[in-house]
Amino acid sequence: MAQPTTSPRQNTIRRPVERNEPRPRITTGPSGSKPRQPSFNWGSALDRWLTDQRSTLTLGVLLMGLGLGLLVAFVSYLLNGPADQSVVGAAFTEPLAESATETRNWVGLVGAYVAHVFVFRWFGVGALAIPIIVFLAGFKLTFGHEILPLGRTTAALLFMAVWSSLMLGYVVLVSKSAETASVWCGGVGYEMNVALYGLFGWGNLAFICFLLFFFLVYFIDVRNLKMPDFSRPSLPKSRTRNENALQTYEESELELEQDEEDEPDLSNKPEAEHAQNNHEIEPISNLADDHVSTAPEKTASPDVIAQTTGVTLTIKNREAVADDLPEEELSATPAPTFEPDPFEDDDLVAVHGLYDPTLDLPQYQYPTNELLTDYQNSRKANVSDDELTANKERIENTLRNFGIEIDSIQASIGPTVTLYEIVPAKGVRISKIKSLEDDIALSLSALGIRIIAPMPGMGTIGIEVPNKNREMVSMRSVITSDVFNNSKFDLPVVLGKTISNEIYVADLAKMPHLLMAGATGQGKSVGLNVLLTSLIYKKHPSQLKLVLVDPKKVELTLFNKLERHFLAKLPDSEEPIITDTKKVVNTLNSLCIEMDNRYNLLKDGGCRNLKEYNAKFVKRRLNPEKGHRFLPYIVLIIDELADLMMTAGKEVEQPIARLAQLARAIGIHLVVATQRPSVNVITGLIKANFPARLSFKVTSKIDSRTILDTGGAEQLVGQGDMLLSSNSDIIRLQCPFVDTNEIEEICEFVGNQRGYDDAYVLPEFVGDDGGQNDDKDVDLANRDPMFDEAARLIVIHQQGSTSLIQRKLKLGYNRAGRLVDQLEAAKIVGPFEGSKARDVLVLDLQTLEEMLKRLKGE
Ligand SMILES: Nc1ncnc2c1ncn2[C@@H]1O[C@H](COP(=O)(O)OP(=O)(O)OP(=O)(O)O)[C@@H](O)[C@H]1O
């Protein structure tokens, strides 16, 4: 593909590396573990039907009813056996109505017939196992949890059905009571004993007993039975209700794991494997990895699972981990304890296996690739050789006109722009080329020329020229890519394609927060949707919660459907997507409380960050009774910061800055977008705490400097063309495109599945006005005794602030707040206005004294 040139200076134009051009269309599941079917199939339709909450409820209730019906029929048959046997026998020769009236079975002729098959022909009394299994399965489908571990109970009951049939068959045979008692052992047990008796005689009994022994050895797994070890404290004998609940909870998890192994799973396999993969525990040293890389990542080391190794690693890497507890928290962090906690018992993992949070919603299916539109053939970057040569010559000529000689040019065609890399002749100053940026752009008569002088890490200068026909990077093409599928990042987000057509995946967890800017219509909303889609495709609802703030009230509404899967909200709020400024302030403060709570949990657990903490919880080394729980990542998305900063200023700025400063270690990550990257929106405080920044096209160089600390974003060409600044590197990327109807389909797919009962509830926060101002019912007849003094204070200072009252009158916050409410009701101060102090409506003391007299009725 190399383009030979005739230039005496051996200028060459080279075609881009083709490795990422149209990939073989093998679509893979989110985990990349198994190939997916490329188009609609009945299997997935059935899967979808089975995971629909309505279907599972219907099926569950049906199975429970069937189980009870069978149980009644079997018991009835065992009691009325001989009478019904003849009825069943005659049912095929005599009129049905007649047989039906004669049957003694409590579930009629059908009950008698089914019971006849299961009880008489097959397992005898052991057949009772069948209705119990059916009932348990129905219960699990209906209520989403188990009264008894389903997989193990099924295995045990089926074994007992066969074994009891054999054992009773033996007794019936040797006691020669087949005439009267064969209903108790069923046909299977009796016939097998007849066959075996001829071979082994009395040895039959030994064989049957050995079967039981064999089953118990494997079923109980005798390797886990240890002699009591008196050197370590054991769990207290009498268990509290909580402990019982905990035990049941763990058993049910263990059982669900068994289910996946034992039974054909309703959820499709790739996703199930995916869930498992998420629990591979990466060596802690991985935490210090660069947050952006498309290089193959390290895989989990099984060694880390070992409890002792885990502790060693934790300590060894104490200094190495960058995203840890801040210093002041650190000093308060107790060193990991080595005293055995009763809960820290190896046996818990040996017996119950690792804790798997995805079993909260075991049948959850990750969204499929088919939900995304296949734009494969629509738009491809198409840069002709003529265009390349023409641009190259123009660059050369322009530079020559300004007295700059070059040694060589190479071109790489990206999805949106082509990068011409220039090696200048010896002695040419780079700043000279940079200063000619506008002139070169003019001569190439294209918008969006960006000059990178020098190219980082190379002795060349880059000139990016937009392609006449640009490529649209579809969401589907990046979601199905190996880079994304095989990514082991904690919060992988696929941000687009680089200039060399490589798919760029970043780890939001390591960014650890992202500031996004872009003038209206340049692709910001699409960018946010891409980010959310990436996370939803990779994360199970138990591992990720989203807090969505949308002051514009339109952009994120589609995600409403994810309420019971991925969204988090304040306890009292109805809408999971936050649009009201006052609620935003409360939510941000609530997240600060969640952050503090999480720090406390981490300290208590002797862990330095969320990953360590969750790894420890997964290994069942943190006691849920002490408040420990699996902590999902929380991603806060704010769609328009400008609106919030205008209405609530500091009240929004401070919690955002606090979260951005401290929340990285405890798994809360912020993505904040704005149309107006001006300094009063992206303040120094916010900017300082957002090391990763992304800019779509902005309207001026000043805006570009505000967001990226350098120009360039004003030169972008729109439609998802963007610059990402992280670790002081700037990369140009083409954002993938995802349409609203694709988002709608994804949200519908997820939303229609069984979810949690409600959104993830954030801690309660009662703020400055605690939302009370809206509907407060202030009774001025019952004024606070300090009312007059507070009113005078406010009027003297002409400042309607709660903290003034608190300070000067030495009152608590709540009382001062109530006083301000009363002052508002008396029209002495105006209503709450975000960060601003309230207006004082009374201008002098004389007017105030008259008002106070009136209030007292004088
Ligand atoms: N990555 C992309 N690839 C192709 N086209 C895109 C891309 N992103 C955006 N566009 C086009 O640009 C249009 C505007 O994008 P978008 O709605 O994201 O802008 P915005 O910056 O959010 O605007 P606003 O701030 O007014 O909501 C889209 O409808 C789409 O046609």
* Euclidean distance between CA atoms 560 and 553, whole angstroms: 12
The torsion region of residue 471 among left (phi > 0), alpha (psi -120 to 50) and beta comes to beta
pLDDT > 60? residue 224:
no
How many angstroms separate the Cα of 780 from the Cα of each of 274, 785, 812, 844, 854?
Answer: 61, 11, 20, 21, 12
Phi/psi for 743 (5° steps) reads: -60, -40
Q: State which of 417, 522, 681 you would mutate to test the pocket of ligand 1, scoring each by most atoms of that ligand within 8 A of its C-beta.
A: 522
- pLDDT category at 8 given cuts 50, 70, 90 is very low
Is 468 in contact with 460 (CB distance < 8 Å)? no
| Buried residues in 402-421 as b, exposed as e (16+ CB within 10 A) | eebebebbbbbbbbbbbbbb
Q: What is the DSSP string of 701-769?
A: HHHHHHHHSSS-GGG--STTEEEEEETTEEEEEEPPB--HHHHHHHHHHHHTB---SSPEEPPP---SS
Q: Is 521 annotated as a binding residue?
A: yes
The answer to whether 589 and 769 have CB atoms below 8 angstroms apart is no
- Select, from the ranges 43-47, 305-309, 602-606, 676-680, the one with the highest average predicted confidence (pLDDT): 602-606
Q: So what's the pLDDT on residue 346?
A: 56
Q: Determine the 3-state secondary structure of 177 from DSSP.
A: coil
Is the pTM higher than 0.90? no
Q: Is beta strand 668-674 parallel, antiparallel or unpaired with respect to 514-517?
A: parallel
Q: What is the pLDDT of residues 245-288, one digit of tens each?
A: 344 334 434 443 443 333 333 333 333 343 333 333 333 333 33
Tens digit of pLDDT for each residue in 811-844? 777 788 888 888 988 889 888 776 567 888 888 8
329: pLDDT strictly greater than 70: no
Q: Starting from the edge strand earliest in sequence, which strands make up the sheet with 544-549, in order?
A: 503-507, 492-498, 729-734, 721-726, 692-695, 514-517, 668-674, 633-638, 544-549
525 has binding-site annotation: yes
Out of 126-140, 209-223, 293-307, 690-704, pick the least confident. Answer: 293-307
CA of 519, closest atom in ligand 1: 21
Specify the residue with its C-alpha closest to ligand 1, atom 18: 523
Given the CA of residue 696, which atom of ligand 1 is nearest to it?
Answer: 21
**CB neighbours of residue 679 within 10 Å:** 12
C-alpha distance from residue 308 to each of 228, 320, 607, 613, 616 (Å): 21, 19, 15, 15, 11
Kindly give the distance from the C-alpha atom of residue 739 to the centroid of ligand 1, in angstroms, as a whole number.
9
Residue 419 forms beta bridges with which residues?
A: 412, 464
The predicted-structure confidence for 20-78, as pLDDT tens digits, reads as follows: 333 333 333 333 333 344 455 666 677 667 667 788 888 889 999 999 999 999 998 88
Q: Name the one residue in this structure whose structure tokens are 């009363």.
A: 822
User: What is the 91 CA–ligand 1 centroid distance (Å)?
Assistant: 72
How far apart CA 473 and CA 379 sit, in angstroms, is 8
pLDDT of res. 739 = 93
pLDDT of residue 355: 85
**pLDDT for the residue 687:** 87
The residue whose CB lies within 8 Å of the most ligand 1 atoms, and thus the one to mutate among 473, 503, 525, is 525
pLDDT at 667: 93
Give me the chain's average pLDDT, please. Answer: 76
Q: Does residue 203 surpass a pLDDT of 50?
A: yes
pLDDT band per the 50, 70, 90 thresholds, residue 239: very low
Looking at residue 261, its pLDDT comes to 39
One-letter identity of residue 241: R
Which residues, listed in sequence order, are joined to residue 408 by a DSSP beta bridge?
423
pLDDT tens for 696-752 read 999 998 999 999 998 889 889 899 999 999 877 889 999 999 999 999 999 999 999
pLDDT given for residue 47 in this prediction: 66
Confidence of residue 767 (pLDDT cuts 50, 70, 90): low
Q: Identify which of 379, 681, 719, 738 to mutate to test ligand 1's pocket (most ligand atoms within 8 A of the CB).
A: 719
The DSSP-derived string for 302-342 is GGGGSHHHHHHHHHHTTTT-SS---HHHHHHSPPPP-SPPT
pLDDT at position 314: 28
Q: Which pair of structure tokens corresponds to residue 623?
A: 């006691």
pLDDT score at 63 = 93
Comparing 659 with 626, the larger pLDDT belongs to 659
**CA nearest 507: which of 298, 777, 794?**
298
- Domain 493-761 sits in CATH at 3.40.50.300
**pLDDT band of 90, cuts 50, 70, 90:** low
Ligand 1 atom 16, closest CA: 523
Q: Does residue 345 surpass a pLDDT of 60?
A: no
User: Where does the pLDDT of residue 554 fall: very low under 50, low under 70, confident under 90, or very high at 90 and above?
Assistant: confident
pLDDT at 679 over 90: no
Give the whole-angstrom CA distance, residue 150 versus residue 359: 14
524 among annotated binding-site residues? yes
pLDDT at 250: 41
What are the structure tokens assigned to 35, written together? 């190939």
Average pLDDT over residues 182-187: 85
Question: Which residues, 6 or more positions from 561, have their beta carbon under 8 angstroms from its beta carbon?
Answer: 747, 748, 750, 751
Q: Whose CA is nearest to atom 3 of ligand 1?
A: 737
pLDDT given at position 375: 79
| Mean pLDDT, residues 600-624 taken together | 89
Rounded (10°) angle between helices 53-90 and 129-143: 160
- Quickly tell me which residue has 């589609």 as its tokens: 558
Residue 829 to residues 148, 177, 496, 648, 767: CA-CA distances in angstroms? 62, 97, 52, 19, 19
pLDDT at 102: 72
**Cα–ligand 1 centroid distance for 262 (angstroms):** 48
| 521 Cα to the center of ligand 1, angstroms | 5
Query: In which band, very low, low, confident or very high, does the pLDDT at 85 lie, cut at 50, 70 and 90?
Result: confident
Confidence of residue 81 (pLDDT cuts 50, 70, 90): low
Instruction: Measure 775 CA to ligand 1 centroid, in angstroms.
Output: 39
pLDDT for 505 equals: 95
**Helices (H), strands (E): how many in the chain?**
30, 15
Ligand 1 centre distance from Cα of residue 388 (Å): 28
Q: How far is the CA of 653 from the centre of ligand 1 (A)?
A: 27
Coil, helix or strand at residue 670: strand
pLDDT mean over 752-768: 83
pLDDT at 93: 62
Domain ranges within the chain, ordered by starting residue: 45-224, 385-466, 493-761, 772-856
Ligand 1 environment, Cβ below 6 A: 472, 518, 520-526, 675, 719-720, 735-737
Please name the residue whose Cα sits nearest to atom 6 of ligand 1. Answer: 719
The C-alpha atoms of residue 327 and residue 599 are separated, in whole angstroms, by: 12
Phi-psi region of 144 (alpha: psi -120 to 50; beta: other; left: phi over 0): left
Specify which of 27-36, 125-134, 233-242 reaches the highest per-range mean pLDDT: 125-134
390 is in an annotated binding site: no
**What is the rounded average pLDDT of the residues 621-641?**
90
Q: What are the structure tokens assigned to 570, written together?
A: 């304040």
**pLDDT value of residue 249:** 38
Handedness of CA 242, 248, 252, 253 (dihedral sign): positive
The more confident residue out of 339 and 102 is 102
| φ/ψ (deg, to 5) at 580 | -90, 130
Kindly state the percentage of the chain with pLDDT values over 70: 74
Tell me what pLDDT residue 16 has. Answer: 35
Q: CA torsion 288→289→291→295, rounded to 10°?
A: -170
In CATH, which of 3.40.980.10, 1.10.3720.10, 2.60.40.420, 3.30.980.40 is domain 385-466? 3.30.980.40
Q: Ligand 1 centre and the CA of 380: distance in Å? A: 18
- Whether residue 519 is annotated as binding a ligand: the answer is yes
Determine the pLDDT at residue 292: 35
What's the pLDDT at 478?
93
What is the average per-residue pLDDT within 774-802?
82
Give the rounded distance of the alpha carbon of 363 from its chain centre: 15
Q: Which two tokens stand for residue 287?
A: 């935490």
Same fold, 385-466 and 493-761: no
What is the model's pLDDT at position 13?
Answer: 37
User: Atom 15 in ligand 1: which residue has the minimum CA distance?
Assistant: 523
CATH level 3 topology of 772-856: Arc Repressor Mutant, subunit A (1.10.10)
